[in-house]
Structures are given as structure tokens and as C-alpha cells.
Chains A and B, each alone.
Chain A
Amino acid sequence: MRKVLGLALGILTAIGGFLDIGDLVTNAVVGSRFGLSLGWVVVVGVIGICVFAQMAGRVAAVSGRATFELIRERLGPRVAVLNLGASFLINLMTLTAEVGGVALAIQLITSVSYLLWVPFAAVAVWLVIWRVRFTIMENVAGLVGLCLIGFAVALFLLNPDWSDLGRQAVQGVSTGTEKVSTYWFYAVALFGAAMTPYEVFFFSSGAVEEGWTVKDLAQSRANVLVGFPLGGALSLAIAGCAAVVLLPQLIAVTALSQVMLPVAEAGGKILLAFIILGVVAATFGAALETTLSAGYTIAQFFGWPWGKFRPPAKAARFHLLMIVCLILGIGTLLTGVDPITVTEISVVFSAVALPLTYLPILIVANDPEYMGEHVNGRTLNGIALVYMVIILIASIAAIPLLIITGAGQ
């Protein structure tokens, strides 16, 4: 019984934890401009994150080593320091976007400017990291984040023309009135949002935090293989809501409130309250994950003691670093930069950094010195290699597309 409960809990947290501000915003923007014609990217991205997240989890469980320690061991200091610089900056951008997302969601409840909430949100993130136990932190954020199921409920309440939505989803590349380059720009952004590198840093370091062993592999695989696709389905529901309500009225999403417009129309105040709670939990959870990931990557590169399982005084530099990152995040947001813009840019740059994160995991997952009998099977390697090609193309195309389309304008 406990096992079943544990499994259910793991899956539920994976669903709630899958979505962050990047997924929320990008899916709504894409839905409002392209309908469901980019839905296939979400499917491709979710399969990709499943493949690599369970690989990183397996590496961590078998070898007890988290991703960034291995990146440096395998690639040497020069490549690793480049990788670290890129990953860290993108992670910092994502962290800023998530804290901004929490503040924006609270603004929707209170009507008090989000700028005022930014410091409170960041301090709350720090307090949780400082005091709360890892498993509690992860489970609470994930479970409350499940409120985002409200988007699926809203889609049903809107009673859309399902055959029309289905046609949009399967017709593939269709740009409507938009330019082809804009279509592909958003394809890369959606892919980056689904496969954000911090998820892998967090997943592998979290496995070490929770002391996973080979015995926990089945559970971790179930969490990923069931939880992430369901999270991906919620992403599609967000895009679907936007496609049904916003696309016909030519409202292109530029603010968080617009993401929730379809929900308010479909389910009224109660569903809206439910969704806002879900958004707060999802962005707060992601803010925790990105803050910890910032600490994990640097601490693992330099070999510092790290982890929430140690008292802060036993991982002093790790904790100081996270405090500094949160302060940088607050500072960036208080300049008045639009958190939604930060989000959109962060998912594109995530796409740029993808190969740097995923290649070392693939290499180590094939190294018997670390993995013993648990090295990758042939089928998995085949799929992973196909994904490396897709990732590489997305990574190379991201910045040219960003420039050509003027960030999707």
C-alpha cells in the first residue's frame, strides 16, 4: 500500500512539477497565435525530457554522482567552464522569470503591483530552501501545482469543436497569417521550454539528495514516464484554451492575465482562483528548483559540499551562492523588465544550451566504470542519438531565428 501511495505521490508531483512559467507562457502564446499546429513540438519535447531525465536519474542512482560533476570529469575544465557559464546564466534567467511569475500571479489575486511582491517571493523561496526538508518541499509544490489541471477542465467546459482542434494538431506545419520563420522560432521556444536544462540538473541532484539507489530506479522511471507526459498534456490544454478563446479574437498573449482569460470565460471565478493557486505553486516550485540548480551546478563544478540534506553551515558556499542568485534575480526584476519577456528569452536560450547538458549525460550513461550493468540499452541509445540530432538543430537554429523574427514579433 505504501508503495502504491509513494508511486502515486511521485507521479502527481511530476505532473505538477513539470509545468513552470516557461511552459505556461510559451504554450499560451503559441496557442493564441498558431492554434494547436505546434502541438507536435510539445510531444517531441516531452518524449525527449523523459528519455534524458530518466537517464540522468539512473546515472545519479547508480553512481551517486550528479550531472555537473560528471560534465567536468568527462569534458575537462575548459569545455566544462564554458558549459557552466552558459548553463548558469540561463538558469539565472529562468530563476528570475520564475520569481517574476510568482509575483505576477500574486498580483492577479491582490491587484498590488508585482514589483512589490518580488522581494517577498524571493525571500519566501530562500526561507523554504533554508529550512524545509527536501521531500516536503518537492511534494507540496508539486501537489498544489496539480491545480493547473483546471486548464484541462476549462478546455472541456469551453466545449470546443474537437474535430477542428484535432485537425490543427495533425495538419503539422501551418502558419496561417504568420511568417514561416516565426512558426519555427516558436517551435524552438516550445522545445526549449519542455526540455529546460535545469530540470535535468535538478532531477539528478535531487536523486542524490534523496539518496536514491538502484532499488529506486523503477519508481523513478514510473514518475518520469507517467508524470511528464501528463504534464505535457496539461501544456497542450493550455495551448488548446488559448486556441479556442484567444485565437479567433486575435488576442496575442503578452501578459500572464491573458493566459488565464480562457479559464475565466469557461469556469468563472472559482476555476480562476484554482488556476491562480496552481500557477503560484508551479512557479514557486520552479523557482525553488532553479535556485537549487544554480547552487548545484557551481558547487559540483568546484567540488564543494552541496545539498539540502546538509545543514546550511555544512554547505556554506552552496547556500551563499543561492542567496546571491536570488538577490541578482530580485535586482533584475526591480529594474522593471517584463518577466514575460525574460521568460520568452530564457526558453530560447535554454534551447541553445541543450546539447551542452544532454551530451555528457548520454556519454556517462554508457560508461561501465560508473554504471556497471546499468549502462544504456541499444534502443535507448538509438532514441537518444536521434534526440541529440534534434537538440543540435534546435540549438543552432535558435539564435538566428531569434534575430530574424525579432523574438517572434
Chain B
Amino acid sequence: MTTGSADQGSRFLDAQLHLLDRQVLDVAGIPVAVVDDLELSDVPAGGELPVDTPPPVITALLSGPVLGTRIFGGRPPKSRRHRTPWTAVSKVGVVISLAIPGETTDLTWTERWVRDHVIARIPGGRHDPERKQNDGSTSKGGGS
């Protein structure tokens, strides 16, 4: 499989080695998820394929319950997939970087739910423990 991202030119990627189980970071470098599975475009099922059938391409990164199917086998229904479109990927390196904020993807809904319903409601939940340091690694907006 090749990827044509502008900043890398064209290079071969092994889905197993370079994509699956890699950490995904959003545009601000905040962890989003790990790539639990990949979604490929459909090829016509059954029978011999016509010669000019386009090869399947990666359409999305999947994460969440789909992990269970990689460990135990099976396949989740399409409607239950938590996906981030492949077009959002900006760079594939030791980690996979997205060009969009993680907040906007399906993959982070549990994080947002836990934050809004539990953690942010406990006093001090938005307190930044490291705010006296200004090394830039601290809260990225919305500290308190």
C-alpha cells in the first residue's frame, strides 16, 4: 500500500507494522487512541474480479470495541464502528498524526463523556497541577 501524503512523498507502508497498534495523536499532539483496526473500501464480493477493479484503499482508522474482534475474532457491524477518516491523517511515523483536533472525532467520545459527567464535576478537576512551570508542555488552553 502506498500513501501520498504531501510531506512524505510516496513510500511503502506495511499495515501490520506501521499502522496497526500505533498511537494516534491529534493536531495538538494530544493522544487520541491506538489504531485498533483499519477500514478498507469494499471490493465486489463473490466470483472473479474484473481486471480493472481498483484495489481497496484505507478509508478510516478504527478504534474502540473493534479491538475485541482482533483479539477474539469476528467482525463488528458497520454502524458500531468508531472511525476517523483516513483523509484526516497528516503523517505516519513512529506515531500517526492527525490534522484535526481529537475532540472532533468519534474516537474520543468515552473520554469526553467521562470528563463531562465525572472528572470535571469533582472539585479541582480542571486544576492544572503543573501550571507554575512554563515549559509549554502544560495545559493547552482551557486550564481552569
Contact = CB atoms under 8 A, between A and B. Distances in A.
Contacts, number: 99
A157 interface: no
B129 A305 contact: no
Contact of A131 (B21, B63, B129, B143): B129
A15 to B, nearest CB: 25
A241 B122 CA distance: 46
Nearest to A309: B130
A311 B139 contact: yes
A310 B120 CA distance: 13
A370 to B, nearest CB: 6
Contact of A211 (B115, B135, B140): B135
A320 B118 CA distance: 8
Interface string A351-387: 0000000000000000001100000000000000000
Q: Is the interface of A mostly helix, strand, loop or mixed?
A: helix
B123 to A, nearest CB: 9
Contacts of A309: 129-130, 137-138
B62 interface: no
Contact of A134 (B36, B118, B128, B130): B130
Contacts of A58: none
A130 interface: yes
A317 B111 contact: yes
Interface string A77-114: 11011000000000000000000000000000000000
A304 B119 CA distance: 15
B23 interface: yes
Interface stretch (A68-76, A147-155, A195-203): A68-76
B137 A211 contact: yes
Interface in B15-38: 20-24, 30-34, 36
A316 B23 contact: no
Given A72-B21, A309-B129, 14 more contacts: A63-B94, A65-B23, A77-B36, A77-B70, A78-B71, A130-B124, A303-B24, A306-B31, A308-B129, A309-B138, A311-B139, A313-B115, A313-B120, A319-B125
Interface of B: 20-24, 30-34, 36, 63, 67, 70-71, 94, 110-112, 114-115, 118-120, 122, 124-130, 132, 135, 137-140, 143-144
30 contacts: A65-B23, A72-B34, A73-B23, A76-B21, A80-B21, A130-B122, A133-B129, A134-B130, A211-B137, A301-B34, A302-B33, A303-B23, A303-B63, A304-B111, A305-B30, A310-B128, A311-B125, A311-B129, A312-B122, A314-B30, A316-B111, A316-B114, A317-B111, A317-B114, A319-B119, A319-B125, A320-B114, A320-B119, A369-B94, A370-B94
